[in-house]
Chains A and B, each alone.
Chain A
Amino acid sequence: MLKMSNISKIYQTGAVEVIALNKINLTVEEGEFVAIVGPSGSGKSTLMNLIGCLDIPTQGEYWLDGQEVSKLSDDELADIRNLKIGFIFQGFNLLHKLSALENVELPLIYRGMNAKERQERALRALAKVGLEHRLHHKPSELSGGQQQRVAIARALAGDPPLILADEPTGNLDSVSGKEVLASLQELNQQGHTIILITHDTQVAERARRIIRIQDGSIVSDERMG
């Protein structure tokens, strides 16, 4: 599914260089459920952004689905994000002026899908996360857990092979967090590759593989079961 070799990300802030990622080598196969853990500032989000093609590495090669990503143009990266990747963020990142349904439709709009098919798909995705009764609610009219489920619906509406979640439960109470996690596990069982960032060791234990990062380097990589 994806392969990183010698990936580094260096931020230049004034005169100071911050090495956020230092020569990462990582391979993820299709259908895996990977948890990335590590202390704050260790480079987890940076790694996730690179995996998700939101950012490009300073050094190294990144192959996604047989394509070398660091050489692609902005628009080609946008296409990859649209077709192959579903994002779930800690802060939900929904558009607050749009309804739940419209938020879920958004990635499909940028895919150029016609209105009818788009709506059908968005409805199915919302039904999957149990929000078929909240279609026309704005994010501000939903609970945190419901908002995150809208975000999950948005991520899976386009049926992307890879779903990335950066601390999806970080802003939720434990009950909502469990629901979100259950949704992710279900998606994994349906064949989606899932990469999840978390601080919570209990959450991480649900994954079948745990990668630990410290100071921009992978310090351990364990597979379970």
Chain B
Amino acid sequence: MEFWQAIRLGISGIMGNKLRSFLTMLGVILGVSAVIILVALAEGSTQQVSERIQSMGSNLLSVSIRGRGNTGYLSYEEVLKWEAYEGVSKVAPSISTQVQAKFGNKTKDVNIEGTNHSYHEVRNTHVVMGRGLTPIDVEFREKVAVIGANVAKELFGEFTPLGEHIKLRGINYRVIGVLESKGSTIGGSSDDAVLIPLTSAERFVGTRGIRRVYVQAENPETVDQVVAKLTEFLTDKYKDPDNFSVFNQTEMLQTVNQVTSMLTVMLGGIAGIALLVGGIGIMNIMLVTVTERTREIGIRKAIGAKKRHILYQFLVEAVVISALGGVIGIFLGVGIAKLISVFTSIAIKFSLPVIFIAFFFAVLVGIVFGVYPANKAARLNPIEALRYE
């Protein structure tokens, strides 16, 4: 009862000076919406980057040979033996080069990847039409091709490419499958790729041998173990660690997540400071309000208001201002973040806990910065307050 009365009094105090209350609120509104917008942008980008990294394949390692010294690149037989290593799930070698693909009078620059059947799973590139590469295709040097979504669209348009022949450097390849579209990913899109059997790709590359191998670990826990094993093998073969590299996708993901979560905390913190400044604004205005309303406080005390009645009244006023500012800030922040993502196609991700934290922080700021002025009001001497002009 007393509580609701205090809220009613507080609200009537705010309504009594709408413009000033709104300006006071503005600090909180901007603070809360800044927290929401910045965190939504940071988390959205984080998610986008992680998704792109993950779309490259899960638990992925990639081995590149930079210089071969006098030992030569890797052979297919050598690479296949890695599948026997503990913790390794699949191995897909890759020989790649850029060529022009032709169908009828249409041409497209494509990225040829000579590989094996494991590629689909290791690189997370699935076939949506037809079939993928098989071990037999590799064994018999079949002239077959699995084409990326863009290649299919640009060369064949609406027609089904299955069974048609495309020309790669003058040689006919039969299209056996089309890959699912993945959009842009880190390290080139599979949408512009043409996959052909490793053995028939060797003719496109001058030198024989494999310079890149994708290795899939069984699970995230075995990744490190596999890295160690591969490094041991490669060091043994190439001696100088500068001659090869083992790229660890899981590690990259962790690094990205670390960096971006730090970014999120930093942006959130900066916006939090804006909120704090809003709180100081509340305190400033509340102090002015208390001084202006000294006479009112005197009258209230003369007719029987206790300290806590006055304290609650002004505290509620501060808290209502900050809470209302918080609510408006949430709507404004969500709205602006959505507009940003619509007009700039930057990914956003709203985090409910962050929205709640921002709101409760705003209310807390209201309480903390409202207590001092409210207490000052509550302690006024009734006679002096009544006499105040």
Contact = CB atoms under 8 A, between A and B. Distances in A.
A114 B303 contact: no
B304 A78 contact: yes
A112 B4 CA distance: 11
Interface string B347-389: 0000000000000000000000000000000000011001000
Contact of B304 (A97, A107, A114): A107
Contact of A79 (B1, B302, B304, B383): B304
Contacts of A111: 304
Contact of A81 (B5, B16, B295, B304): B304
A87 interface: yes
Contacts of A95: 296, 299-300
Contacts of B16: 97
A35 B307 CA distance: 32
Contact of A78 (B1, B295, B299, B306): B306
A154 B303 contact: yes
B382 A54 contact: yes
Contact of A93 (B5, B302, B306): B302
Contact of B307 (A49, A75, A93): A75
Interface string B285-329: 000000000011011111111111100000000000000000000
A89 B385 CA distance: 14
A211 interface: no
B12 A97 contact: yes
B158 interface: no
A74 interface: yes
B1 A112 contact: yes
Interface in A107-128: 107, 109-112, 114
B236 interface: no
Nearest to A96: B296
B2 A87 contact: no
Interface in B1-38: 1-2, 5, 12, 16
A215 interface: no
Contacts of B309: 110
A87 B306 contact: no
Contacts of A87: 302-303
A179 interface: no
B302 A81 contact: yes
A106 B300 contact: yes
Contacts of A112: 1-2
A110 B299 contact: no
Interface in A64-95: 74-75, 78-79, 81-83, 87, 89, 93-95
Nearest to B378: A74
Contacts of B5: 109
A89 B298 CA distance: 12
A107 B307 CA distance: 14
A30 interface: no
A55 interface: yes
A83 B306 CA distance: 12
Contacts of B301: 54, 78, 81
Nearest to B303: A107
B306 A75 contact: yes
Contacts of B299: 93-95
A41 B107 CA distance: 107
Interface string A135-158: 000000000000000000010001
Q: Which of B12, B296, B305 counts the most A-chain CB atoms under 10 A from its CB?
A: B305
A81 B309 CA distance: 14
A149 to B, nearest CB: 16
A69 B379 CA distance: 19
B8 to A, nearest CB: 9
Interface in A152-169: 154, 158
Contacts of A75: 306-308
Given A93-B299, A95-B299, A97-B16, A110 B386 contact: no
A81 B307 CA distance: 13
Given A97-B12, A97-B16, A110-B309, A82 B303 contact: yes
A49 B383 contact: yes
A54 B303 contact: no
Nearest to A78: B306
Interface in B148-186: none
Contacts of A93: 295, 298-299, 302, 386
A93 B297 CA distance: 11
Contact of B306 (A79, A89, A97): A79
Contacts of A54: 301-302, 382-383, 386
A114 B386 contact: no
Given A95-B296, A97-B12, A97-B16, A110 B383 contact: no
Contacts of B304: 78-79, 81-83, 107, 110-111, 158
19 contacts: A52-B302, A54-B302, A54-B383, A55-B382, A75-B306, A78-B304, A78-B306, A78-B307, A82-B304, A93-B295, A93-B302, A95-B296, A97-B16, A106-B303, A110-B303, A110-B304, A110-B305, A110-B309, A114-B1
Interface of B: 1-2, 5, 12, 16, 295-296, 298-309, 382-383, 386
The 9 A-B residue pairs with the shortest CB-CB distance, nearest first, are A82-B304, A107-B303, A110-B304, A78-B306, A75-B306, A81-B304, A93-B299, A55-B383, A110-B305
Given A87-B302, A94-B299, A111-B304, 6 more contacts: A55-B383, A74-B306, A75-B306, A81-B302, A107-B303, A158-B304
